[in-house]
Every structure is written in structure tokens, then in C-alpha cells.
Amino acid sequence: MNSVERHHFILDKLKQTGNITVSEVCEELGVSTVTIRKDLKFLEDSNLLFRVHGGATRQNPYTTDRTVFEKEKLYADEKTRIGRAAAKFVESNDSIIIASGTTMQSLAKEIEPHGQLTVVTSALNVAHQLIQHQNVEIIQLGGTLRKTSTSVTGAYAEMILKDFFCSKLFLGVDGIDLDFGITTTNANEARLNRAMIASAQKVIVLADSSKFGRKSFGKIAEMNQIDILVTDQNINPRLVERLESLGIKVIIV
């Protein structure tokens, strides 16, 4: 292939999968990593893709803060399916933590509690959704309210968490980079999420496939701190293999 043919191949593959790695393109085309990296730089300079560590993506990998009212309209069907699958992990007489975000709201909508359920949450929209259940005890964390996420952050919320230890944390993220870890747009939110991880036996991340290959400002944790990841069917199969090699159980809906 000449350079023009390689560029078409790369862009077509990105259109199909959303993300590519240098190694897989080199293997398919039988060319060197130097050649593909030069191709990716040319295409990025032409505003046709975004380079990320080890590959490229169609979407801007650096996420910015959006309000929940904007986010709830994005990937709504995927979030509903993810929330429904995640709700199956909630057991009778469970004690769980639910973080903030529109996917967490989708989870809260799908929870049908059996027995008594205790929920610790930072998110007002999650609490509002669960308050309809008589057998759900809600512990609302206090702190500074972030209007974009309708959730609280800060030292007071982190202090309250130290009094609890729950069986599971359900966590939403803005970015997942297999080398860098899981991230969110707000540093205070990331810090509270780390406190939530410390207060839970198992960490369950809920993320639609658009979150992969992206980074946000605030790092939450390394990938090895995730036990289960629930995502949609548009995830790249190679990513699933890499996630499973890290010991993460992947649920695809």
C-alpha cells in the first residue's frame, strides 16, 4: 500500500471500531511502527483523528465537563441497558455506594430492592430516584454541591465515608485509558471517588463504550482497582481482551 491507501485503511478502521492501536494496524498492513506513527501524525495534523498512547481514536480523548442535563441525552439507550445489567449485582439486604453521573441515575431507575437496601450516595438525582422505595435507606453525603453533576464533593463528604464500609461501589467515569486509568473531569470528584473505593469491598465501573481511550483532568484510580466493568456492545473486542487480562470481569450489554 502507498501512503494514501494506508490513510484510507486507517480511517475506515476507525469508522468501524472507534479506536485502533499501532500494533494491530502494523500487523494487518505488514509495515513498521515508524510508518504507522507517521501516518497517524499526518492524519491528526489534518484533523481527521486524535492520537492517544499506542494508537488513535475518532473522538477527542480529553473530555470536558458537561452538565447532567446534556449528558443524559448522550448514549441514553446504552446507559439504560448498562444500568439494568448493573442492578442485578444488588443483593437482598445489601449496603452499597452509588457515585454520581447519568449512568448512575440509570442504575438507580433499574434497582428493585429485595429486603432492606442501604445506599450511600453523593448524587442528588440518585437519591431522588431511590426515595420512592420504602425499603431503601438513603445516606446522602454532604458537602459542596456541583451544579453540573448535581452531586456533592469535598472534605465533609470524604469524612462521612470513613464511617462506612459497603459491599459494592457503583462508579461512573468520564474517561478510561488502559495505561493511565479511570478519570473524571473534576479533581474534587476524583478525590471523593477514591474515598469511595477505599470504603467498598468491590468496585463496579459502569461506562458506555465512548469513554474508552479518553482521559479527563482528575485521575480516580489505576485499572487494577476495578473488579467489574459493565459496558455496551460497541466496545472494541481487543479492549475486552486487554481488560480481562488485567483481571477485570467485563459485562457487555
Whether residue 30 lies inside any domain: the answer is: yes
Chain segment 70-115, per-residue pLDDT in tens: 655 567 899 999 999 999 999 999 999 999 999 999 999 999 998 9
Chain segment 107-129, per-residue pLDDT in tens: 999 999 989 999 999 999 999 99
pLDDT of 69 over the 80 cut: no
For residue 127, give its domain range.
68-252
Radius of gyration of the chain (CA): 20
Whether residue 145 lies inside any domain: the answer is: yes
Same domain, 137 and 22: no
Whether residue 63 lies inside any domain: the answer is: no
Q: Domain tally for the chain?
A: 2
Same domain, 197 and 155: yes
Bridge partners of 123, per DSSP, are 151
Cβ neighbours of 72 (radius 10 Å): 17
Stated pTM of the model: 0.76
Same domain, 114 and 35: no
Same domain, 231 and 120: yes
Angstrom distance (rounded) from CA 231 to CA 86: 10
Whether residue 224 lies inside any domain: the answer is: yes
Tell me, what CATH number does 23's domain have? 1.10.10.10
Angstrom distance (rounded) from CA 36 to CA 239: 20
**Cell triple for residue 134?**
420504602
Q: Which amino acid is at 151?
A: S
Q: Domain boundary at 34, 57, 80, which?
A: 57
Same domain, 122 and 173: yes
Beta strands 55-57; 19-21: pairing state? antiparallel
Report whether 95 contacts 118 (CB < 8 A). yes
The better pLDDT of the pair 63, 232 is held by 232
Report whether 168 contacts 204 (CB < 8 A). yes
| Contacts of 142-145 spanning 24+ positions with Cβ under 8 A | 143/192, 144/188
In 18-134, where do the E strands start and end? 19-21, 50-52, 55-57, 95-98, 117-121
Residue with cell 448524587: 123
Same domain, 141 and 189: yes
Same domain, 93 and 27: no
Angstrom distance (rounded) from CA 184 to CA 234: 21
pLDDT of 17: 82
Chain segment 4-20, per-residue pLDDT in tens: 999 999 999 988 888 88
Same domain, 40 and 75: no
pLDDT of 204 over the 90 cut: yes
Whether residue 22 lies inside any domain: the answer is: yes
pLDDT of 150 over the 90 cut: no
Same domain, 103 and 151: yes
Q: Domain boundary at 17, 34, 57, which?
A: 57
pLDDT of 117: 97
Tell me, what CATH number does 200's domain have? 3.40.50.1360
Same domain, 23 and 133: no
Same domain, 20 and 97: no
Same domain, 45 and 87: no
What angle do helix axes 33-45 and 22-29 make, rounded to 10 degrees?
120
Whether residue 172 lies inside any domain: the answer is: yes
Where does the pLDDT of residue 65 fall: very low under 50, low under 70, confident under 90, or very high at 90 and above? low
Whether residue 62 lies inside any domain: the answer is: no
